[in-house]
Amino acid sequence: MSHSLPCVDTMSATLMGSVGLSLNWSGTGSGPCLFPLCTYSSNESGCENGRPTTCHSEWSRSSRRGNYLGETLRFVSPGWAWMVLMALKVLMVTNMCPSPERPGWGAFVKSQIDSLVEKGIEVEVFVIDGYKSKLNYLRAMWAIRRECSRTHYDLVHAHYGLSGLAARAQRRYPLIVSFCGDDLLGAPNRQGRVTFRSRVFVWLHQWLARMVDGVIVKSEAMRRLVPDSRAVVIPNGVRFDVFRPMPQQDCRTQLSLRTDRRYVLFPYAPSTIRKNYGLLERAVAIVNAEDSAPLLEIVTIDCAPAAMMPVYLNAVDLLAVVSMWEGSPNTVKEAMACNTKIVATDVGDVREILGGVEGCHLCEPTPEDVARAILRALAVPVKTAGREMVARLSIEAVSDQVIAEYTRVLQNRNRLEPQVPTGDGASRTRMEV
């Protein structure tokens, strides 16, 4: 039995434009505002340079930023001495962005942007609505070139391969591409084989990896697919202040879930072939046939906002990720931070993340083995100790790794000018503007 929870839309903005939007985090007003292919800061009146603005509540709530221009950022970069950077200005290009239509889509991109902003990086975001039309990537090429010709940035950072292809249309600034999963691994058909169309895109993305200044991937398996092993592995980080253990009963009440049932969370749309919903359905049927304990039901998530994910993860008895393949599934790390039990196939970096934690089990992609893993997880009467295992993946630690990659790329492009060390033993670096 499947229990599909309703989509909760907490956003009030209407995204404008079919190609892309720019969200500006550099202002000190009420929060980021959205324009078709524009980059303006918000103000209290809701209007800038004669243009009306529409504030996006989900983005602005956690992205408020002081004026970091002229301030400095200190961080540790592996292999470097302590360094001080003037505030970097980054153009973030992404096809994943929370919106009223898809409130949970690209939540990990938003989290990374928020964490960079909190470290003092000035970020402007260009969103490509690629899911509406692939032609929007072609249109975005021209728009990104135009934006980079009229605005100074220190570098461009694209999330997802297709976004990177669009961002490569500009040559003025260094480009870093974060590959996210199926852009390098491919997308399957119903028989579990990579489609021909997907293979073409994988080849294009591997070519792209040779044409950019920096490559970020989510797991070692993805790094092996990048030519010349040029990539650095930086998994998406977890916000431990958001994803934390919460009382299960309170969370079930919020979601209207029954207390006399057991629930397993399938955190994707059942129609997504790669996520393998049918496998979990068959496994749950076996569990209910063999186990006399309360009925186990599947809770699916399709379009719930990211803010509700901690509630889902704490309301259920366990999380199931039985995908055919993954890069580095964010939900697994988030469930670990909530001390939620996990059953997962051995995809991406899941084996490394689970690390033998009691109540978390790897399984073969067969209904029988998934069912056995579910029963073993449910037999553990307490929550897991997963939070301790993923401490290294805090959003703050991951943002430091991203900044270190920014630094490396800028140094290679001779955009960082080392200064004479100061008396405190730290190397000081000045941005060339």
**DSSP per-residue letters across 105-162:** TTHHHHHHHHHHHHTT-EEEEEEE-TTT-THHHHHHHHHHHHHHHHS--SEEEEESHH
Nearest to 143 by CA among 17, 263, 242: 17
Q: Mean pLDDT lowest for which of 49-63, 211-225, 401-415?
A: 49-63
- Indicate whether 198 pLDDT > 90: no
248-389: same fold as 11-237+394-431?
A: yes
Least reliable range by pLDDT among 188-197, 240-249, 278-287:
188-197
What's the whole-number average pLDDT of the chain? 77
CB within 8 A of 278, min separation 6: which ones?
none
What's the DSSP call for residue 386? Answer: H
**What was the pLDDT predicted at 3?**
63
CA distance 325 to 346: 8
**Cα–Cα distance for residue pair 230/30, rounded to 1 Å:** 40
> Domain 11-237+394-431 is in which class?
alpha beta
pLDDT score at 413: 79
Least confident range from 101-115, 131-145, 257-271: namely: 101-115
H-run or E-run covering 90? strand 89-94
Mean pLDDT in residue range 208-227: 88
Token output for 431: 């941005």
* Of residues 35, 29, 124, 23, the one with CA closest to residue 67: 29
Higher pLDDT, residue 304 or 313: 313
Does 47 have pLDDT greater than 90?
A: no
pLDDT at 16 over 50: no
65 has pLDDT over 80: no
pLDDT score, position 4: 57
**What is the dotted CATH code of the domain comprising 248-389?**
3.40.50.2000
Instruction: Please give the share of the chain, as a percent, with pLDDT higher than 70.
Output: 76
The pLDDT tens digits for 147-172 are: 999 999 999 999 999 999 999 999 99
- Per-residue confidence (pLDDT) for residue 188, from 0 to 100: 78
Give the pLDDT confidence score for residue 86 in this predicted structure: 52
- Rounded to 5 degrees, φ, ψ at 346 are -85, 80
Domain boundaries, the chain: 11-237+394-431, 248-389
pLDDT band at 54 (very low <50, low <70, confident <90, very high): very low
Among 77-86, 354-363, 407-416, the least confident range: 77-86
Residue 99 CA to residue 105 CA, distance in Å, equals 7
Q: For residues 389 and 279, which has the higher predicted lDDT (pLDDT)?
A: 279
Show Cβ contacts of residue 415 under 8 Å, excluding neighbours closer than 6 positions: 154, 174, 431, 432
pLDDT for res 255: 94
- If one compares 179 and 30, the residue with the highest pLDDT of the two is 179
**Distance separating alpha carbons of residues 156 and 168, to the nearest angstrom:** 9
> Which residue in 393, 366, 110, 118 sits closest to 236, CA to CA?
393
Buried b (16+ CB within 10 A) or exposed e, 299-337: bbbbbbbbbbbbbbbbbbbbbbbbbbbbbbbbbbbbbbb
